[in-house]
Amino acid sequence: MQLENSFQVGAPPDRVFDYLLDVNKVVGCVPGAELTEVVDASTFKGKVKVKVGPISVAYNGTARISERSDSDRTATLIAEGRETTGQGTAKATALMTVEAAGAGSTVRIVTDYHVAGRVASFGRGVMEDVSKRIVKDMAACIKANLEAAPPPNPSVGAAANSQPEPPPAAAQPINAFGMFLHLISLRLQRLFGRRGSDSRG
């Protein structure tokens, strides 16, 4: 099965390409992902947990950058994983391309993947939705990190340009229960605030 995703980033293509190939930076932007070992510059191991339909599936796996062209700003990533609590497997080959787009960049990701096990029963439609959600969250995080901090300027001394960098953004799960409680508290405050003003009048 093949999926295509793209997103815009307000930063130069070379900077975006270098950032996307720095696994230590990108892993924090992938929802449910955790880096467990950097084997070498192009191979790393990790865990990822995804929710597909009504179930959540966790994988242990290895990914490696099999091809890379800095001049064309393209890279191919191959990842394989196995369910931590089942017999399911997943394998994906992703071709990533970074192109200039006005003053910024366009990132395109074409992924061929094969899954076996419980996830495979949900079909293409559900898998597309999951893929789009993950890429959307990842893109928002990457954009926040690249667009917030200016690139380093080697011609300016570090002492003269020593401003603290903002902490990197990270993919965060949505806490629906916390949002619900927050909305209730706001409504109660407004309700009792209104009653208090009425009684004083």
Distance CA 112, CA 96 (A): 12
Q: State which H helix or E strand residue 148 sits in.
A: helix 123-148
Phi-psi region of 90 (alpha: psi -120 to 50; beta: other; left: phi over 0): beta
Q: What share of the chain is helix, strand, coil (3-state, %, to 5)?
A: 35, 40, 25
Q: What integer pLDDT is reported at residue 169 of this predicted model?
A: 54
For residue 163, give the amino acid letter.
Answer: Q
Q: What integer pLDDT is reported at residue 70 of this predicted model?
A: 95
Q: What integer pLDDT is reported at residue 132 of this predicted model?
A: 81
Coil, strand, or helix at residue 46? strand
Coil, strand, or helix at residue 199? helix
Whole-prediction pTM: 0.69
For residue 10, give the amino acid letter.
Answer: G
Over the chain (201 residues), the average pLDDT of each successive run of 10 is 88 94 87 89 90 85 94 95 90 94 94 85 78 85 83 50 48 43 50 52 55
How many residues does the structure list for the chain? 201
CATH architecture under which domain 2-152+168-173 falls: 2-Layer Sandwich (3.30)
Q: What integer pLDDT is reported at residue 198 of this predicted model?
A: 54
Q: What integer pLDDT is reported at residue 59 of this predicted model?
A: 92
Among 6, 4, 1, CA closest to 108 = 6
Q: Report residue 24 CA to chain centroid gap.
A: 12
